[in-house]
Chain A
Amino acid sequence: MRWGFGREDYRVKPGLYALGTPVATSPVLVTGNYRLTLDELRSSLDELEAWLLVVDTRGINVWCAAGKGTFSAEEVARVVAETRLAEVVEHRRLILPQLSAPGVAAHKVKEACGFRAVFGPVRVAELPGFLAAGMKADAEMRKVTFDLRDRAVLAPAELRFAWDRRVLLACVGILAASSIGADGVSLSRALRRGTPIIGAGALALLAGGGLTPLALPWLPGRAFSLKGAVVGGIVAAAATATFRRQLSPAARLALLVGVPAVSSYAAMNFTGSSPITSPSGVELEMRRALPLQAAAAIVAVGAWIASRLGE
C-alpha cells in the first residue's frame, strides 16, 4: 500500500473505536485515518485498553496531514462532538501523536471542545512506556529517527512513484531519437542505440533514488543533490570502465556527465521523504543545484549527439 498499490483502500471511517475493552477512565488516543497507521496501532498496542478516536485525515498519515492542516484542532473537536466522547469517558484528556503538533494547537483543542490535549511520543511503540510513566515522554521518545531501516523502507516507495507516464514517454522519445540515421529510421537501430541510454537512465535513477538514500549519512556534504551527484559519478565511472571498448569518447563523456545529473535530481527529490530537511534549506539547495543539473544534462545530450554524428 505504501508503494501505491491498492491506495483506494487506505481510508478508515472516522469515529470512536475500542482497543481491548476500555472503560470510562481509559485513555483516549487520537490518530488519523490512514490504514497503515491504524494497523500499526492495533498490532503494537494489543495489550492496552484504550479508546481510539480516529479523525478524518483523508487517508493521509498523521505528520503529512498535520502539515497540510487536515489534522487540526477543529477536526479533533468535530469528532469529539460527533462521537459524544464526553458521555463515554469521565476524564477530559486526549493523547495526540506528537507529530500531529504542526497541525494541532493544544490550547485551541481545549477552547474548542473542553478536552486537554497532551502530546504523546513520536512512535506508537513507545505509547505503553509513555502511559506507564504517567504520560511523560523522555527525550528519545520525542525525537524522529531516520536510520538505515527507515531509509530502506522509503527509498523503494520513492522509486515506485518515479515510474509514471513521463518515464514511459521518455523511453519512447529516446527510442524514437535513436532510430534516426543518415539512411532514415530503423527499428533495429532504435533498440541497439536506445537501450543503452535507457539503461543509463535507470542506473542514474537507482543511484540517486536508491543508493543515495541508503548511504545518506556517509556521503559528503549536506545537500542531497551533492550526495546524489557523488553516487552518480561513482556509478557512471564504473559503467564507463566496464563498457569502455563499446563507447566512443563522446559517448563516455555523455555517460559521465549525464548520469550524475539525473542521479543528483533524483536524490534531491528524496528530500520529500526525509524528516530532517527544512523547506528553506531545500529551496536554497535547489537554487544552487538546478542550473548545474540542467547544464550537465545539456552537455550530456550534446555529447551523445556528437557521438552519433561521429559514427
Chain B
Amino acid sequence: MSTLRYIEEAVTLELDVTRCNGCGLCVAVCPHAVFAIADGRAALVDRGACMECGACALNCAPGAISVEPGVGCAQAIINGWLTASEPSCDC
C-alpha cells in the first residue's frame, strides 16, 4: 500500500490549525493517515495521501478543515461533464 500513491498536486485539503480544538476525530475517520495530533492540535502529516472523501471536514465540529469532497472516479466525472452537474456515479 505504501508503494502505491496517486497524483498529489491537485489535492484540495486545507487545515486551519487556529480553529482546531484537538478532538482527534480527523485522525479517527481518515482512511489514509493524513492527520496526526501533535501538541494538542491536528497536523497534516501526509496531505498527498488524501483522497478527498470529506470525512474529516464533515466531522470537524469547529470547522477547521476544508476539502472539496467527491468520488475519485473517471466515469463519475465524465457523467458530471455530460450533464453539466456534480460528478455522480451509479455504483
A residues at B contact (CB < 8 Å): 60, 64, 66-68, 98-99, 101-107, 119, 122, 137, 139, 142-147, 216-217, 222-224, 268-269, 271-272, 274-286
Contact = CB atoms under 8 A, between A and B. Distances in A.
B31 A278 contact: no
B6 to A, nearest CB: 5
Contacts, number: 141
A71 to B, nearest CB: 11
Contacts of A142: 27-28, 30-31, 33
A276 B73 CA distance: 10
A276 B6 contact: yes
Nearest to B4: A217
A133 to B, nearest CB: 14
Contacts of A224: 74
Contacts of B76: 272, 279
A149 to B, nearest CB: 12
Interface string B48-80: 011111111011010000001111111111100
A146 B71 CA distance: 16
B32 to A, nearest CB: 7
Contact of A106 (B5, B11, B25, B71): B25
B91 A282 contact: no
Contact of B77 (A104, A106, A139, A286): A286
B58 A280 contact: no
A157 to B, nearest CB: 10
Given A64-B91, A281-B6, A276 B51 contact: yes
Interface string B12-56: 100000000000010111111100000000000000011111111
